Structure 1
Amino acid sequence: MAGVFDIDLETEDGSDTEVSNDCITRRRDTEEVELTSENVNRDSERVGPDCFELLTVLGKGAYGKVFQVRKVQGPQTGKIFAMKVLKKAKIVRNAKDTAHTRAEREILEKVRHPFIVDLLYAFQTGGKLYLILECLSGGELFMQLEKEGIFMEDTACFYLGEITMALGHLHSYGIIYRDLKPENIMLCQQGHIKLTDFGLSKESIHDGTITHTFCGTIEYMAPEILTRSGHNRAVDWWSLGALMHDMLTGSPPFTAENRKKTIDKILKCKVNLPPYITVDARDMIKKLLKKNPAQRLGSGKDDAADIQKHPFFRHISWEELLNKRVDPPYKPQLHSEEDVSQFDTRFTRQTPVDSPDDTRLSHSAELAFAVSPSASMFWNVFLSFLQLF
């Protein structure tokens, strides 16, 4: 598994900044109020831990656990969700994570898209944050790719098409994703993709804007991130090219036995493609993996539209794809809505227990979990900490 870097914080003008462990800087014109289920959840439904029955452990990470749960009260009773339980104390321990969370708080408030994970409910207790998301029971695309070894080009074309539309939607809101890799792409029950894990995303990156944060997963990171020369949404198209190479050959384009050598390859080496790659696929990979971002496919003002016009996608009907009227190449074999066979048995065999919550944070730490009244879906920001699968 590739390593994920901690993010560096940035001010709005792109310069690096540090945040004290003891406090979080707040906008002077923003009133802070207590975050409760009443002011974040849809339809003003009162939701808490008691509304959900724990079924299975799906994942575990530094910040908490992911459970498959069933709603047992109120609207949607009986429906299956994924519940991510995050420990506040572990989040606030790292001031960078906390400040980044606040800076990112509106990302998924802005986006609703067929190929981006949807947050349904959110609430908190004294020591924990709870996120209720759609349960993507098809598992990670990574698992499917690992099982198949490589994808046929028509299969890769389908997944890459849906991913391109999701990234284009994010870019239209000035959001760059910055961590595209098979592990962050989930499959729904029907086999369509959903982007998850927005912990390294950055907003307010519009035409002409750059940022300098060093972040991502090495094998999929664009050269301009590695050199800290400033980057924009073109980094996502580099990652798409690396992912396309991974799908069609079984590995990212630049790999080595250690991090330094991998970085050297990304910065200096040309991509080598096996002879079985078709002309159109070869052309698209090479254009996405241009080391100069200004020359990279998708770097122009038309962004995703330029990629969608590439001959590799000539058989795609984008309207049909967006409306999920194209049959996925692979449909997860699931026996029921509760089937967790697509998840790692290291987790699914564990007893699902949400440990007692008796943590109380200091007043300054609790400010990190306050929300302005205007941010009705503040809780979406905690997708910044969903790298738990």
Structure 2
Amino acid sequence: MSAAKNAAHVTGEVFDESTNIAYKVGRFLGKGGFARCYELIRRDGVQPTNVAGKVIAKSSLVKRGSRDKIVQEIDIHKKLNHAHVVKLMTHFEDKDNLYIILELCESSSLMELQKRRKYVSEEEARYFMAQIVNGCSYLHNLHIIHRDLKLGNLFLNGRMHVKIGDFGLATIVQFDGERKKTLCGTPNYIAPEMLNKNGHSYEVDIWALGCILYTLLVGKPPFETQSLQDTYSRIKKNQYTIPAKIASHASVLIRSLLDPVPSRRPTVFNIAKTDFFLCGYHPASLPTSCLTMPPKFDFVNKRRSLAGDENLLQALPASSKSTRAGKPLTSVPEHRMLRTEPNDAAPAKPLPMLNIETRTDYKKELLDLLTSVIDAYPGSHVRFDALDDILEPSCRPVFWIGKWVDYSDRYGLGYQLSDESIGVLFNDGTKMVTDSAFKQLQYVEKDGKESYHMAQEHPKSLEKKYQLLRYFRSYMLENLVRAGGDMAMSEGDELQRLPVMRAWLRTRSAILLLLTNGILQANFFEDHEKVIVCPLLEAITCITGKGEMYTLKIEKMKKQGYPADLYKRLKYMRTQLQKMIDGAKGSAQSSTEFKGGSNSEAATATTANEKREPRVHH
């Protein structure tokens, strides 16, 4: 029986008899191998605690080897306690399943971030790599080799802190010089000594760090090809190219980490001493908007050395070794394992940044994506309650539109993003958005040039639009947003850069909304269903009228089918997106002027001559 068929399904509540603690089963987080992960709500205290629960059906562990691997994973992981390692809190079992309770990482992993962003800035890479090196230093100090370091196993919590997870392939070095013999890991990250069967040790993790840094900065793994054989050939030949755009200190570090000779690679304890970490701006924190949008950095005269900076790799163990593990004495054979998964300081002052409109507007990509999934529809009627095999919760959008108000007869379209930030696409084609705390303003000119201001210190030229933004915000707060006190700024929010509305189109049946990060959303009026398409993760998210959210991978939808109702909605979205594209080609007017176009379902009650009160929609 396949792993998918054997994967454990749980609902309702699970109970740990050894501690008398009950966990309410929340949303499905994802699956891999024999395990399924859920968000669990621990209910023993006054304040419920949200954790992640890895559930493994005992029926999938019939083979002795399978159970031994799980036992070894738990034995290694449960002893770990570090800020940059996912915490294993407890584990227990009942007659059907084994449950591993883990720290919840709300922001998914660096793999989803990289797929949305393609590549990150050097400052962000430095921020993430410092934490990964921290965690890896901790592991190596305990004689643990992770052996599967990759973007998909580097999780992010709600504060954008990196957590190393998945210790299924981890091993312990029993004595200095021991060389492991297992072929294991993920193809794009496997070190050459592992492929050459020369025995391996801590250096395979160093190699993986080089692959991770390269992927973050360049946008793809250094040795990636279309075939496994070619990828392995490039790894063995050390055949890769660093683009000229990559800074010299980053290139030097990448080359040292990807040295084909293991003994020449730096130890994890020496990586922090390289120029990449010592000669550049190191943000103390990052906002969650970085999951989909680049942050706003002040690059002018703000670079500073981090030598002596308290923020630099604080968590490196005081007893960090500076010497390498000894040379091999004996070889310890192990079972062959191979994972063949797909690829997976003072804050800077805000200032005007890049032209947001010069980046891809995603309309063609969205149209092609919708066409591909519509054309592949097999005609099978898969119900929403039977979508297990095509669900991909890790691909849920970071931002979507929760509320909107159409006042385009006078001013424009106001909207609220899922993080409670508020924006307006004005009739003149300019845009303004404020964070949920209403502390920072982001303004985009008609030509796409961006500027950033503290809300209370905006220029006089923006006063009228600022007051209109306040009006839209107050109107939505009073009508549909839940009541509550003012929200405080979170760490990293000073670098936050939000997506803004690029275009919208309204018909009698629905409204289409396009954000600058590529998200296309359709809100259907009759049943309040929302369909959100992400071209970067190639995923579709459905939000029902009751607020239930389902995220589906398009690749799986093509192969396994999807509900007929969703098929109809996607066809409608494609038709309206084409009209949006045609409207943009037909004139240089702003996006608010081609809503509905000339089709028979043209927008109702939105003409410029009408005088009416706005209506809030959700």
Q: Which residue pairs with 1:178 in the alignment? A: 147
Give CA-to-partner distance per residue, 1:249-289, whole Å, 9 cap, x none: 11111011111111001001433111011110010000000
Aligned pair in 2 of structure 1 residues 130, 193: CA closer, same or farther (>3 Å)?
same
Gaps of 5+ in 1: 1-35, 39-44, 299-303, 351-389
Tell me if structure 1 keeps the 8 A contact 2:130–2:312. Answer: no
Deviation at residue 101 of structure 1 after TM alignment: 3.0
**Which residue, out of 222, 226, 241, partners 2:191?**
222
Q: Which residue pairs with 2:211 in the alignment? A: 242
Aligned pair in 2 of structure 1 residues 208, 76: CA closer, same or farther (>3 Å)?
farther
Equivalent-residue separation in structure 2 for 1:196 and 1:318 (angstroms): 26
Q: Which residue pairs with 1:14 in the alignment? A: none
Q: Which amino acid aligns with 1:63?
A: F
**Any idea what SS the aligned residue of 1:89 has?**
helix
Q: How does 1:50-129 map to 2 (within 5 A)?
A: 51-72=22-43, 74-75=44-45, 77-93=47-63, 95-129=64-98
Give CA-to-partner distance per residue, 1:360-386, whole Å, 9 cap, x none: xxxxxxxxxxxxxxxxxxxxxxxxxxx
Q: How does 1:112-261 map to 2 (within 5 A)?
A: 112-261=81-230
Give the TM-score normalised by the residue count of structure 1. Answer: 0.69
Q: Which of the two has greater strand per residue?
A: 2
Equivalent-residue separation in structure 2 for 1:78 and 1:52 (angstroms): 10
Deviation at residue 132 of structure 1 after TM alignment: 1.8
Tell me if structure 2 keeps the 8 A contact 1:68–1:81. Answer: yes
Q: Which residue pairs with 1:292 in the alignment? A: 261
**Which residue, out of 20, 23, 37, partners 1:46?**
20
**Any idea what SS the aligned residue of 2:54 has?**
strand
Q: Which residue pairs with 2:274 in the alignment? A: 310
Tell me if structure 2 keeps the 8 A contact 1:205–1:233. Answer: no
Aligned pair in 2 of structure 1 residues 190, 103: CA closer, same or farther (>3 Å)?
closer
Tell me if structure 1 keeps the 8 A contact 2:272–2:313. Answer: no
> RCO greater where, 1 or 2, for CA within 8 Å and sep 6 or more?
1
Q: Which amino acid aligns with 1:287?
A: S
Equivalent-residue separation in structure 2 for 1:68 and 1:173 (angstroms): 30
Q: Which amino acid aligns with 1:46?
A: N
Equivalent-residue separation in structure 2 for 1:56 and 1:81 (angstroms): 11
**Any idea what SS the aligned residue of 1:225 has?**
helix
Equivalent-residue separation in structure 2 for 1:283 and 1:270 (angstroms): 16
Give me the identity figure in percent.
28
**Any idea what SS the aligned residue of 1:349 has?**
strand
Q: Which amino acid aligns with 1:311?
A: D
Q: Which residue pairs with 2:550 in the alignment? A: 349
Aligned pair in 2 of structure 1 residues 168, 323: CA closer, same or farther (>3 Å)?
closer
Q: Which amino acid aligns with 1:209?
A: E
**Any idea what SS the aligned residue of 1:138 has?**
coil
Give CA-to-partner distance per residue, 1:285-335, whole Å, 9 cap, x none: 00000111011122xxxxx2211111111044466544698989xxx7775
**Any idea what SS the aligned residue of 2:144 has?**
coil
**Any idea what SS the aligned residue of 1:80 has?**
strand
Equivalent-residue separation in structure 2 for 1:274 and 1:228 (angstroms): 30
Tell me if structure 1 keeps the 8 A contact 2:234–2:240. Answer: no
**Any idea what SS the aligned residue of 2:127 has?**
helix
Aligned pair in 2 of structure 1 residues 153, 132: CA closer, same or farther (>3 Å)?
same
Aligned pair in 2 of structure 1 residues 69, 105: CA closer, same or farther (>3 Å)?
closer
Deviation at residue 37 of structure 1 after TM alignment: 5.1
Aligned pair in 2 of structure 1 residues 149, 231: CA closer, same or farther (>3 Å)?
same
Aligned pair in 2 of structure 1 residues 130, 161: CA closer, same or farther (>3 Å)?
same
Equivalent-residue separation in structure 1 for 2:234 and 2:203 (angstroms): 19
Equivalent-residue separation in structure 1 for 2:46 and 2:175 (angstroms): 38
Equivalent-residue separation in structure 1 for 2:72 and 2:26 (angstroms): 33
Give CA-to-partner distance per residue, 1:21-71, whole Å, 9 cap, x none: xxxxxxxxxxxxxxx853xxxxxx323xxx122221111233132111222
Tell me if structure 1 keeps the 8 A contact 2:86–2:165. Answer: yes
Deviation at residue 228 of structure 1 after TM alignment: 1.3
Q: Which amino acid aligns with 1:62?
A: G
What RMSD in Å do the two structures reach over aligned CA positions? 2.9
Give the TM-score normalised by the residue count of structure 2. Answer: 0.44
Aligned pair in 2 of structure 1 residues 37, 326: CA closer, same or farther (>3 Å)?
farther
- Residues matched between the structures, number: 292
